[in-house]
Amino acid sequence: MNKLLSAASAAVLSFAGFSAAAQEYPSKPIEVVTHAGAGGGTDVTTRMMMLRARRELGEDMVVVNKRGGGGAVAMDYYLEQPADGYSILTFTIGHAATLAKGKTEMTLDDIRPIARGTDDPQILMVRCGAYDTPEQFVAAQKDEPILYGTTHLGNIDDVSAFMFTKKGGMKTPKIVPFEGGAELATQLIAGAVDAAVLNLAEAGAQIENGDICPVVVLADERMAGLPDVSTAKEMGIDVSFSTVRGFVVAKDTPDDVAQKIEESLMKAMQHPVYQAFLTSAGLDATSVAGSEVWGDQISSMVVDMESALKELGFIE
| Same-domain check for residues 166 and 226 | yes
| Same-domain check for residues 109 and 188 | no
Mean of pLDDT values over 203-220: 93
**Do 243 and 156 contact (CB within 8 A), yes or no?**
yes
Residue where one domain finishes, among candidates 216, 235, 254: 235
Axis-axis angle for helices 272-280, 255-270 (nearest 10): 60
Query: What is the pLDDT, as a whole number, of residue 169?
Result: 96
Residue 19 included in any domain: no
User: Residue 6: pLDDT above 60?
Assistant: no
Query: What is the pLDDT, as a whole number, of residue 98?
Result: 92
Q: Radius of gyration (Cα) for the chain, nearest Å?
A: 22
Instruction: Summarize pLDDT for 22-77 with one digit per residue, the tens.
Output: 458 999 999 999 998 777 788 889 999 999 999 999 999 999 999 888 899 999 99
| Same-domain check for residues 113 and 249 | yes
Q: Are strands 174-177 and 147-150 parallel, antiparallel or unpaired?
A: parallel
Give rounded-to-5 percent helix, strand, coil for the chain.
50, 20, 30
pTM: 0.78
Query: What are the angstrom distances between the C-alpha of 48 and each of 5, 37, 163, 272, 295?
Result: 53, 15, 32, 11, 21
Instruction: Summarize pLDDT for 180-197 with one digit per residue, the tens.
Output: 888 999 999 999 999 999
Q: Residue 262 is part of which domain span? A: 27-119+242-311
Residue 269 CA to residue 48 CA, distance in Å, equals 8
| Same-domain check for residues 133 and 229 | yes
Q: Are strands 147-150 and 111-127 parallel, antiparallel or unpaired?
A: unpaired
Query: What are the angstrom distances between the C-alpha of 250 and each of 106, 140, 258?
Result: 10, 48, 9
User: Residue 174: pLDDT above 70?
Assistant: yes
| Same-domain check for residues 301 and 281 | yes
CATH number at residue 280: 3.40.190.150
Q: C-alpha angle with apex 166: 165 to 171, nearest 5 degrees?
A: 60
Residue where one domain finishes, among candidates 183, 206, 235: 235
Instruction: Summarize pLDDT for 238-278 with one digit per residue, the tens.
Output: 888 888 999 999 999 999 999 999 999 999 999 999 999 99
Q: Would you say how long the chain is, in residues? A: 316
The region that residue 149 occupies, defined by phi over 0 for left and psi between -120 and 50 for alpha, beta otherwise, is beta
Mean of pLDDT values over 137-160: 91
Q: Which residues contact 243 (CB under 8 A, 6 or more apart)?
A: 41, 92, 93, 118, 120, 121, 122, 156, 199
What is the tally of structural domains in the chain? 2
| Burial category of 263 from C-beta neighbours within 10 Å (exposed 0-12, middle 13-18, buried 19 and up) | middle
Q: Around Cβ 239, how many Cβ atoms within 10 Å?
A: 24
Amino acid letter at 310?
K
| Same-domain check for residues 155 and 219 | yes
Higher per-residue confidence, 72 vs 16: 72
CATH number at residue 208: 3.40.190.10
Query: What is the pLDDT, as a whole number, of residue 8?
Result: 44
Q: Pick from 195, 203, 160: which is nearest to 176 by CA?
A: 195
Residue 112 CA to residue 70 CA, distance in Å, equals 20
Residue 207 included in any domain: yes
Residue 294 included in any domain: yes
Residue 311 CA to residue 308 CA, distance in Å, equals 5
Residue 220 included in any domain: yes
| Same-domain check for residues 39 and 105 | yes
Residue where one domain finishes, among candidates 186, 211, 235: 235
